[in-house]
Amino acid sequence: MTEASIHQIYYSEQTRGELDPGFLPLDNSANERPDWREYWPMRRFLLGAELDPQRYYGFFSPKFNRKTTLTAANVHDFIRQRDGSADVISFSPFFDQMAFPLNIMELAIVDHDCRETLARCATLVAPQFQIEQSVMSSRDSVYCNFFVAKPRFWARWLDKCELLFDLAEEGLTPLGQALNRVVNYGAVAAPAKVFVIERVASLLLWSEKQWVFDAYDATLLPYASARLLEFASPPDLLVLDALKIAFAASGAERYRTLYSHFRNKLIQRGTVGEQRASAKRDEARIPEVAGRSS
């Protein structure tokens, strides 16, 4: 039976107290390089440890349960049920963010507004990747680095991450400087390199077909966008994801065309819904304004 060593990163005594006791604590309390976020302790571990080639390894943030609702017991049970058949096993939430966008980099452009940086880094990891054309689905999308993998995949992942690491550390090229530039993600700001590193596993799974991938059913885990769910229901998202999976399996252009057509219809639905909601808000304000002017 294949076992797993799954580490959960902590930054302080407070975050250590929040860890799931079923995971192994990974100390990052010194936090020497906060600009690299979780990549720094992951990198330090992978560069220094001797790994069992048949064992799974993982590195989760303290927010794992909050983002997935899963416990360490859930994770280990799922891994044991797979009996070592996969190279990579994902426990990623946010099925809506897997199904609705064409690929994980398209979504990143919307979230982080650094298109050129993301596009150039993507081609370093997966040379054939094109943001406007490449199709990704729930079968090759990982969020928050919530995955476990055997050492062979981690070695490949680390090689690609180190290309980006060296560029950013040297800071001698426009791309290296762009990786260090702070970008926004909602109320959070972090260097672009953090968001690029989070997408390396997905790019590898998409571009290198030798990896055997399995995943906990993301439709059972939390979704990311309440706004998206207002006009794209879970069944709608299942259809989008199925069309992308069919395209990846067959290469038949009709599946990508159908995906685009259906997604555009959903976007139109959302636009109309927002316009109606805006009109209702305006109507509700009219009596108030009239009352003040009388």
99-149 pLDDT, tens digit per residue, is 999 999 887 776 556 788 999 999 999 999 999 999 999 999 999 999 999
Q: What is the pLDDT of residue 112?
A: 58
Instruction: Average the pLDDT over 70-89 and give the result.
Output: 96
* Closest by Cα among 206, 183, 187 to 116: 183
Indicate whether 70 belongs to any domain: yes
Least confident of 83-92, 115-124, 162-171: 115-124
Indicate whether 58 belongs to any domain: yes
Please state, in angstroms and rounded to a whole number, the distance separating the CA atoms of residues 115 and 117: 6
- Those residues with Cβ within 8 angstroms of residue 19's Cβ, 6 or more apart along the chain or in another chain: 8, 10, 25, 62
Q: Could you tell me the residue range of the domain that residue 27 belongs to?
A: 4-224
- Those residues with Cβ within 8 angstroms of residue 101's Cβ, 6 or more apart along the chain or in another chain: 107, 110, 136
Q: What is the pLDDT of residue 130?
A: 94
pLDDT digits (tens, 9 = 90+) for 41-61: 999 999 999 999 999 999 999
Q: Which residue has the higher pLDDT, 276 or 138?
A: 138
Percent of all residues in the chain with a pLDDT value above 90, rounded to a whole number: 83
Calculate the alpha carbon distances from 219 to 91, 92, 99, 130 in Å.
Answer: 11, 10, 10, 27
* Closest by Cα among 109, 99, 44, 87 to 201: 87
Mean pLDDT of the chain: 91
pLDDT of 291 strictly over 50 = no
Q: What's the farthest any 2 CA atoms get from each other in the chain?
A: 79
Q: What is the pLDDT of residue 289?
A: 41
Indicate whether 103 belongs to any domain: yes
Q: What is the pLDDT of residue 272?
A: 81
Indicate whether 289 belongs to any domain: no
Instruction: Average the pLDDT over 64-74 and give the result.
Output: 98
Indicate whether 161 belongs to any domain: yes
Q: What is the pLDDT of residue 2?
A: 75
Please state, in angstroms and rounded to a whole number, the distance separating the CA atoms of residues 93 and 100: 14
Residue 281 tokens, joined: 């808000």
Indicate whether 237 belongs to any domain: no
Instruction: Average the pLDDT over 243-269 and give the result.
Output: 97
Instruction: Give the pLDDT band (50/70/90) at residue 281.
Output: low
**What is the tally of structural domains in the chain?**
1
Indicate whether 285 belongs to any domain: no
Instruction: Give the pLDDT band (50/70/90) at residue 16.
Output: very high
Q: What is the pLDDT of residue 205?
A: 98
* Closest by Cα among 105, 121, 71, 116 to 91: 71
Least confident of 9-18, 33-42, 152-161, 279-288: 279-288
Residue 265 tokens, joined: 């219809």
Indicate whether 235 belongs to any domain: no
